[in-house]
Chain A
Amino acid sequence: MSLDRSDVEQIAHLARLQIDATDIDSYGQSLNSILGLVDQMQATNTDGVEPLAHPLDAVQRLRADVVTEPNQRDALQAVAPATEEGLFLVPKVIE
């Protein structure tokens, strides 16, 4: 599998990354070399091997359904660039 310029632009868009047009080729090369490694791994015969969701040989711990988090809005919003009436303000997103 090999990526062309439009693939790189699409990936950047999905990740909301702004990239210079002059850098697209070099990003493409870097990504392609990663995909080359993936191709190499995919060539390995994995018949009968279960997909691995997690490398640790452990299972999820569970939490009791009890409220443990008090209201810390003031502290948590202290780092927000803009708030009003308790809301976080962000650039308008509606289309």
Chain B
Amino acid sequence: MSQPAAHIAQGIAQGIAGGIDCDVHPAIPGMAALLPYLDPYWQEQVAVRGIDGLDLSSFPPQMAAHGRADWRDKGEKPGTSLARLRADALDGFGTQLAICNPLYGVLAIYNEHFAAALARAINAWLAAEWLDRESRLRGSITVATQNPELAVDEIERCATDPRFVQVLLLNQGDTPLGNRRFWPIYAAAERHGLSIGIHAGSIFRHATTSNGWPSYHLEDYAAHAQSFQSNLLSLVHEGAFTRHPGLIFVMIESGFTWLPTFLWRANKTWRGVRAEVPWVDRPPSEYIRDHVRFTLQPTDAPPTGADMARLLAMIGRDNMLLFSTDYPHWQFDGDNVWPDGFSNALKRRVLRDNPMNAYPRLKEALQ
């Protein structure tokens, strides 16, 4: 590697170097890129029927928020270039390892056979075009949750590759994620030391709010925070955490400043209604603090660092946040990945220790 540029040196000085970036987004250019990884039947189906354009409309690539201006090449979908990801995200922050979360419309497809074929193609594409070419990258396994049996097959197939470190799910699907339907997926992940990542994004199967469809992107994006909270309630109360005590769930691009006040309400409601869910034998906050982690970006920060310090004290644990840039999404400017109010000790934990503990498979890589 060449000498770091001035801004990189500054980043290292800020304690960014050597980090594990838990959310970067290689983008799938389109179906043409996946064709080599589909079987002949689906290759033909895709060609004959003209199937393409499965980017989720919940976060369109052309939005400024989807690609920082200095991380975007004109006319290109942000995140399609390995060279740029290498320069911007890996070299740019002195990152040791980065976890790739490709987002594509697999979960929104009604034909579960096609969804499973596409998930398999995305995983093969990620391994061949990204992980094979850049040793600092790690992968998330895309699965078609439409059919948990097929999803488990795909987990089993990918799990033999130690570079895959988690199973990737979407925040707004068709069913809250604690539902028993998903448990075979969780069992497979637990068996293989994979974590479960839940990433912001919607298949628009349901209105993004229970009040109906809002008009603006900002409302939909904001609404992800409430859906993450709904998914956490579901995971707690359906008993998923009790059933899978070794499993870590990572909320990705979720924001985290809503966490403490959410826990207060969740505990209070459980105290009043816990007879309904007798298997939940501890307050929800305990399950969530033990089993759930959050990526750093976006940080929906309070106005000052002092306020952030108060909020972090309310969260009460220093092991819950995982370093992330959300590359190439535009969540911060320049190297300013750390919100005000984080102590150096916390930054170090967030940068390396917490990701290592959240992803068992990373430990093997760094030993």
Answer yes or no: are A and B bound together in one complex.
Answer: no
